[in-house]
């Protein structure tokens, strides 16, 4: 009995409840003495259906967790389990093998000990399946009967159904938030493990990055975990080079689209720009690594910069900037469009030209929104991974020369987690600390940006 079957049963019984509840409500409507139902018959039907289906679905969720435990316990208590080895690890392997065969997920067992357990497993499973089925039917019946009996002409079924719908929607929105909290918690735990072996001072202010995964894990050298070069590389590529490209281009394209483009041009240019945001970043990465980076190196060498590297901060930053243009442009577009047209008319009526109006009225009025867009773009850029992995190089260098290879926080997270390193080594754990810092910074940027946008909206509404 899988949870899916239970849920199907729940839905089937729910349908029956719906029909029954509705029929009962209809019968009231035919009754002469009843003036008016407080809710339409459909709502009464839904009320009964919810009382049947929801408890059963909740029970199915609970049962899908509880029943395997109960099965295991009953198998362990059986006589066949007496000759099982004492070590819990071996025992678990045998148990899971037997259970896999019993439930039909596997056809044969490796371990002869497991063979004896298959039959007890089958028995326990069918027993608990039966129990689960009976319990669900019981729950469905009790819930349905209770709801059905409550249906009266003046019963406020509609508000109750609405409340359930609201609850379901609330739950859906909580999933994303709770996931964020979960991510945060797991990052905190792992980062804390890292900081027990490497001091946060060394990590946050050290200027040399060179974790050695082969070193002694018990006593790491804190001076090899200085993340400043990574922070610098991230800021240099994501917040400086990329923004030098993205801010002017994004802003200008937004101004063109909102103020100059005629509707026909706008109708295809704006979606085209937004498609740019949907291109997988790995594709940008190819472009940066195969086309832009060599071109930049050749150009740099041609003008006499001899130490230009074939992987460079400039290549990654430029391509990242192009990738970010749609973000800046679309936020700026929205905020310029949100400036009341009365402002624009007022300025034009003063005899200002379109460009004077844009420069002196529209952009200043839209500035908070534009700034917020830029901050969101920065947070996106510094969290970007693929382009820097492919084009920026791996050298943790503290330099302001854009032709040199650099590395970023995201690159090092990838490098530390994908190696052959032991999962408990500080070099691996440092990835979580880096992720933690990145998470805090981007969260902060987004938070500030959203606050600014909110205040901006209030100013015009």
Partner 1 sequence: MTVIHSGLDATDPKMRASDVSVYYGDKKAIDNISIDIPSKYVTAFIGPSGCGKSTFLRALNRMNDTIPSARVEGTIELDNEDIYASGMDVVYLRARVGMVFQKPNPFPKSIYENIAYGPKIHGLADGKEQLDEIVETSLRRAGLWEEVKDRLQDSGTALSGGQQQRLCIARAIAVDPEVILMDEPCSALDPIATAKIEELIDELSGRYAIVIVTHSMQQAARVSQRTAFFHLGKMVEYGKTSDIFTNPIEQRTKDYITGRYG
For residue 225, list its beta bridge partners. Answer: 209
Tell me the C-alpha distance between 288 and 297, whole Å.
12
Report if residue 455 touches partner 1, rule: CB under 8 A: no
Between 205 and 460, name the residue whose CB sits nearer to partner 1.
460
Beta carbon nearer to partner 1, 159 or 353 = 353
Q: Is 360 in the site for partner 1 (CB under 8 A)?
A: yes
- Tell me which stretch binds partner 1 (CB under 8 A): 168-176, 204-212, 340-348, 421-429: 340-348
In order, the DSSP letters of 154-169 are T--HHHHHHHHHHHHH
Shorter beta-carbon distance to partner 1: residue 167 or 346 = 346
CA distance 240 to 251: 16
DSSP 113: H
The residues near 146 (Cβ < 8 Å, ≥ 6 apart) are 51
Q: Which stretch binds partner 1 (CB under 8 A): 59-67, 113-121, 243-251, 350-358?
A: 350-358
- Decide whether 357 or 407 has the Cβ nearer to partner 1: 357
Least Å distance between CB 346 and partner 1?
Answer: 4
**Of positions 31, 356, 419, 447, contacts partner 1 by CB under 8 A:** 356
434 lines the binding site for partner 1 (CB under 8 A): no
Q: Does 355 bind partner 1 (CB under 8 A)?
A: no
| Chain Cα centroid distance, residue 374 | 21
* Complex with partner 1: residue 290 or 459, whichever CB lies closer: 459
- Min. distance of Cβ 258 from partner 1 in angstroms? 13
Q: What is the DSSP string of 136-154?
A: HHHHHHHHHHHHHHH--TT
Query: Is the sign of the CA dihedral 276, 418, 395, 378 positive or negative?
Result: positive
Using DSSP, state whether 185 is helix, strand or coil: helix
Q: Which range binds partner 1 by CB under 8 A, 165-173, 189-197, 302-310, 352-360? A: 352-360
Q: Is 175 in the site for partner 1 (CB under 8 A)?
A: no
β-strand partners of 76: none
In 78-108, alpha helices (H): 88-102
Residue selected from 166, 350, 440, 443 as contacting partner 1 according to rule CB under 8 A? 350
347 binds partner 1 (CB under 8 A): yes
| Shorter beta-carbon distance to partner 1: residue 92 or 345 | 345
- The reply on whether position 248 binds partner 1 by CB under 8 A is no
Nearer to partner 1, 358 or 434 (CB): 358
Question: Which span (178-186, 227-235, 265-273, 343-351) binds partner 1, by CB under 8 A?
Answer: 343-351
- Judged by CB under 8 A, the chain residues 362 through 421 that form the site for partner 1 are 364-365
The whole-angstrom distance between residue 16's C-alpha and the CA centroid of its chain comes to 38
Measured distance CA(393)–CA(236) in Å, rounded: 14
Angstrom distances, CA of residue 454 to CA of 10, 247, 368, 451: 44, 21, 9, 5
Q: Does residue 184 contact residue 69 with C-beta atoms inside 8 Å? A: no
**SS3 at position 310:** coil
448 binds partner 1 (CB under 8 A): no
| 344 binds partner 1 per the rule CB under 8 A | yes
| Rounded least distance, CB 377 to partner 1, Å | 24
Residue 225 gets which letter from DSSP? B
Task: Report how far residue 391's alpha carbon sits from residue 290's, in angstroms, rounded to the nearest whole number.
Answer: 8
Q: What distance lies between CA 177 and its chain's CA centroid?
A: 9
Question: Pick from 235, 352, 398, 417: which binds partner 1 (CB under 8 A)?
Answer: 352
**What are the two backbone dihedrals, phi and then psi, of residue 178, each rounded to the nearest 5 degrees?**
-65, -35
User: Under rule CB under 8 A, how many of the chain's residues touch partner 1?
Assistant: 21
Measure the CA dihedral 73/74/78/84, to 10°: -30
Cβ(147)–Cβ(44) under 8 Å?
Answer: no
- Is 345 a binding residue for partner 1 by CB under 8 A? The answer is yes
Report 265-324 residues binding partner 1 (CB under 8 A). Answer: none
262 binds partner 1 (CB under 8 A): yes
The Cα–Cα gap between 171 and 7 comes to: 19
SS3 34: coil
Contacting range for partner 1; rule: CB under 8 A; set: 14-22, 33-41, 143-151, 341-349: 341-349
Closest approach of partner 1 to the CB of residue 358, in Å: 12
Q: Judged by CB under 8 A, does residue 361 bind partner 1?
A: yes
Pick from 303, 342, 400, 423 the residue near partner 1 by CB under 8 A: 342
Question: Is 156 a binder of partner 1 (CB under 8 A)?
Answer: no
Which residues contribute to the site for partner 1 (CB under 8 A)? 262-263, 340, 342-353, 356, 360-361, 364-365, 459
């Amino acid at each position: 009995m899988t949870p899916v079957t239970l849920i199907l049963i729940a839905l089937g019984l729910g349908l029956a409840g719906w029909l029954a509840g509705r029929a009962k409500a209809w019968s009231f409507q035919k009754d002469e003495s009843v003036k008016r139902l407080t809710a339409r018959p459909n709502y009464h039907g839904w009320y009964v259906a919810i009382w049947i289906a929801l408890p059963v679905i909740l029970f199915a969720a609970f049962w899908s967790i509880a029943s395997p435990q109960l099965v295991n316990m009953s198998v362990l208590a059986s006589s066949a389990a007496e000759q099982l080895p004492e070590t819990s690890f071996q025992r678990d392997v045998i148990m899971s093998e037997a259970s896999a065969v019993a439930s039909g997920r596997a056809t044969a067992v490796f371990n002869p000990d497991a063979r004896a357990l298959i039959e007890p497993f089958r028995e326990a499973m069918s027993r608990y399946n039966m129990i689960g089925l009976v319990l669900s039917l019981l729950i469905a019946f009790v819930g349905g009967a209770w709801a059905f009996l409550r249906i009266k002409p003046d019963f406020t079924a509609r508000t109750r159904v609405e409340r359930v719908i609201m609850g379901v929607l609330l739950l859906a929105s909580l999933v994303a938030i709770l996931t964020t909290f979960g991510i945060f918690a797991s990052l905190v735990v792992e980062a804390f493990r890292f900081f027990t072996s490497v001091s946060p001072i060394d990590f946050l202010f050290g200027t040399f990055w060179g974790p050695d995964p082969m070193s002694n894990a018990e006593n790491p050298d804190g001076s090899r975990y200085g993340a400043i070069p990574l922070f610098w590389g991230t800021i240099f590529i994501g917040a400086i080079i990329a923004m030098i490209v993205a801010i002017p281009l994004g802003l200008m394209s937004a101004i063109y689209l909102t103020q100059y483009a005629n509707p026909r041009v706008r109708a295809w240019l704006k979606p085209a720009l937004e498609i740019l945001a949907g291109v997988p970043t790995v594709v940008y990465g190819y472009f940066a690594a195969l086309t832009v980076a060599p071109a930049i190196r050749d150009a740099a060498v041609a003008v006499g910069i001899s130490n230009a590297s074939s992987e460079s901060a400039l290549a990654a930053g430029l391509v990242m900037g192009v990738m970010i243009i749609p973000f800046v442009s679309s936020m700026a577009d929205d905020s310029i469009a949100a400036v009341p047209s009365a402002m624009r008319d007022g300025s034009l009526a003063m005899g200002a030209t379109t460009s004077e109006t844009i420069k002196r009225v529209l952009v200043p009025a839209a500035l908070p929104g534009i700034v917020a867009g830029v901050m969101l773009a920065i947070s996106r850029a510094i969290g970007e991974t693929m382009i820097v992995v492919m084009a920026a190089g791996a050298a943790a260098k503290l330099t302001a020369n854009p032709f040199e290879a650099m590395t970023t926080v995201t690159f090092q997270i990838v490098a530390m987690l994908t190696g052959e390193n032991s999962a408990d080594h500080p070099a691996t754990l440092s990835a979580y600390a880096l992720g933690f810092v990145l998470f805090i910074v981007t969260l902060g940027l987004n938070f500030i940006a959203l606050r600014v946008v909110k205040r901006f909206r209030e100013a015009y509404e």
